[in-house]
Amino acid sequence: MKNILIIGAGDFQLPLVQRASLSYNVLLAAPAISERFEPYIKGSLLVDVRDKETILAYARKNMVCGVTTDQTDIAVRSVAYVAEQMRLPGISYETGCLFTDKELMRERMAQLGIPLLPHRTVSSLEEALAYYGGIGGDIIIKPLDTQGSRGVQICRNAADLEAKYDEAARWSSDHRVLIERYATGREFLVEGLAVDYEFRNACIGDTLYFDLPDAFAARSRIFPTVADDALTQRVLDLNTRIVTGFGLRQGITHSEFVMDGDEIYLLETAARGGGVFISSDLIHLSCGLDTEKFLLDIATGEQKGLPEIKPQQCVCGYLAFYIPTGKVVSVQGVQEVQALPYVHRNQLDKLQVGKVNREGHTDKTSRLALIVSAPDRATFEERAKKIRGMLQVETLTENGIESLIWE
């Protein structure tokens, strides 16, 4: 079998690695690789996934026939670089940067004539405070090229900005920060796919957030959206305009949008599938696409033309939760929930007595989640409520015993 390189070894890359192992010798590049991957890989490179030169040397040494990743932003540039340098199917490094840098995204959208929320990229707290003095109100600050919402924070006044700026800057590779007016309207996510520069939207859903002061993360993302047909089409048309305007040659895309009044604005778009098993499971449940096969086939040049996209097959989404900061002392209902026929891929095995959570709930990466399906939205909500009731986990915190955080 031929060698294929996959970059990234988190929970959300495992489905792609498992599928690739059926047809290829899988080589895996990541800073750490857990034992869960061992049955599926033939070789590995422990490396920062942003170290594109070391990864390229490894790929050349092993004469890989393709390189890919999924559900992670920080590997996209290295995937693009290796593909470009080795003349493998993929996107250019320039395109990889465009889809992973929030400032470059906004510059390209301005060139395309697409409306933008007021924003500025700054290099220091002094610049940030000066810009805030002109914009005022609620703002959101974001590292330019992080993932998992690390460092993303809402600031409601200048004191907030002073207190939170350094945290945002430290997650940015060059310490620059994007400041943007904070919009609080309804949010959408759109998954799409491209082959040979031809693009098609696959599915559109709704985003629901945790009601936590320090967590900028979704508690649930549900397909399809409940928006009316006219609004849904406006979002889809805007997504098509952006992705085609960005010149994506191939891949899966994940875009997030927010409304401010009647206007729709892009929050970010990515040249990879959505995380929390959106790419691996929710796209498939939504429209029947075998996502992993598609990613492998475009990485190796086997995919010719866009695959079939079926109409929405069911209502599906992820339910996410946080473990309170502390030590888990009791876990009940995990196996019962996993046995439910409408519960699909999940991270519930990580709920173990004795688990110590020191991460808190400041970004997306410390959440755990499960995939749920239903015939309609009302049934989805009923099933979600049932799951929350069945899954009983107690954590000993400095404030006493606390349960899982679902909202």
Rounded Cα distance, 272 and 31, in Å? 20
User: What pLDDT digit, counting tens, does each position of 243-298 carry?
Assistant: 999 999 999 999 999 999 999 999 999 999 999 999 999 999 999 999 999 999 99
Radius of gyration of the chain (CA): 21
Residue 98 near residue 246 (C-beta atoms within 8 A): yes
Q: Could you give the percent of the chain with pLDDT greater than 70?
A: 99
E strand or H helix that includes residue 179: strand 177-181
Mean pLDDT of the residues in the chain: 95
The predicted pLDDT at position 216 comes to 77
E strand or H helix that includes residue 285: helix 283-287
The predicted pLDDT at position 363 comes to 63
Query: Does pLDDT of 191 surpass 90?
Result: yes
State the residue for tokens 């994940």: 254
Rounded Cα distance, 151 and 164, in Å? 9
Rounded Cα distance, 268 and 146, in Å? 12
The closest of 219, 185, 191 to 205, measured between CA atoms, is 191
Rounded Cα distance, 364 and 378, in Å? 26
Confidence of residue 196 (pLDDT cuts 50, 70, 90): very high
118-181 and 317-402 share one fold: no
User: pTM, whole model, 2 decimals?
Assistant: 0.94
For residue 293, what is the DSSP state? H
The closest of 227, 194, 345 to 282, measured between CA atoms, is 345
Rounded Cα distance, 391 and 405, in Å? 11
Confidence of residue 366 (pLDDT cuts 50, 70, 90): confident
Rounded Cα distance, 382 and 387, in Å? 9
Rounded Cα distance, 90 and 4, in Å? 13
Task: Kindly give, in sequence order, each residue whose CB lies less than 8 Å from that of residue 339, ignoring residues fewer than 6 positions away.
Answer: none
Instruction: Give the residue with greater pLDDT, 353 vs 217.
Output: 353
The predicted pLDDT at position 362 comes to 64
The predicted pLDDT at position 170 comes to 92
* Pick among 3.30.470.20, 3.40.309.10, 1.10.3720.10, 3.30.830.10: CATH of 187-313: 3.30.470.20
Pairing mode of beta strands 251-260, 263-270: antiparallel
Give the mean pLDDT of 88-116: 97
Query: Does pLDDT of 314 surpass 70?
Result: yes
- Looking at this protein, which amino acid is placed at residue 315? V
Edge-to-edge strands, sheet with 198-209: 263-270, 251-260, 187-195, 198-209, 218-223, 315-321, 368-374, 343-346
Rounded Cα distance, 309 and 292, in Å? 15
Confidence of residue 158 (pLDDT cuts 50, 70, 90): very high
The predicted pLDDT at position 349 comes to 97
Q: Could you give the percent of the chain with pLDDT greater than 90?
A: 92
**CATH class as words, domain 317-402:** alpha beta
Rounded Cα distance, 237 and 150, in Å? 29
Rounded Cα distance, 189 and 403, in Å? 29
- CATH architecture for the domain at 3-88: 3-Layer(aba) Sandwich (3.40)
Query: Does pLDDT of 148 surpass 70?
Result: no
Cα-Cα end-to-end distance for the chain: 47
Q: 121's torsion region: left (phi>0), alpha (psi -120 to 50) or beta?
A: beta
Going from the C-alpha of 346 to that of each of 11, 88, 269, 324, 335, the distances in angstroms are 10, 33, 25, 19, 11
Rounded Cα distance, 169 and 159, in Å? 16
User: What pLDDT digit, counting tens, does each position of 389-402 carry?
Assistant: 999 999 999 999 99
Rounded Cα distance, 264 and 269, in Å? 14
- CATH architecture for the domain at 118-181: 2-Layer Sandwich (3.30)
Q: 261's torsion region: left (phi>0), alpha (psi -120 to 50) or beta?
A: left
The predicted pLDDT at position 361 comes to 72
Give the mean pLDDT of 230-242: 98
Residue 257 near residue 188 (C-beta atoms within 8 A): yes
Query: Does pLDDT of 325 surpass 80?
Result: yes
The predicted pLDDT at position 87 comes to 98
Three-state DSSP at 182 gives coil
User: What pLDDT digit, counting tens, does each position of 5-20 carry?
Assistant: 999 999 999 999 999 9
Rounded Cα distance, 170 and 199, in Å? 35
**What are the extents of the domains in the chain?**
3-88, 118-181, 187-313, 317-402
Query: Does pLDDT of 359 surpass 90?
Result: no
DSSP string over 349-368: GG--TT-EE-STTSSGGG-E
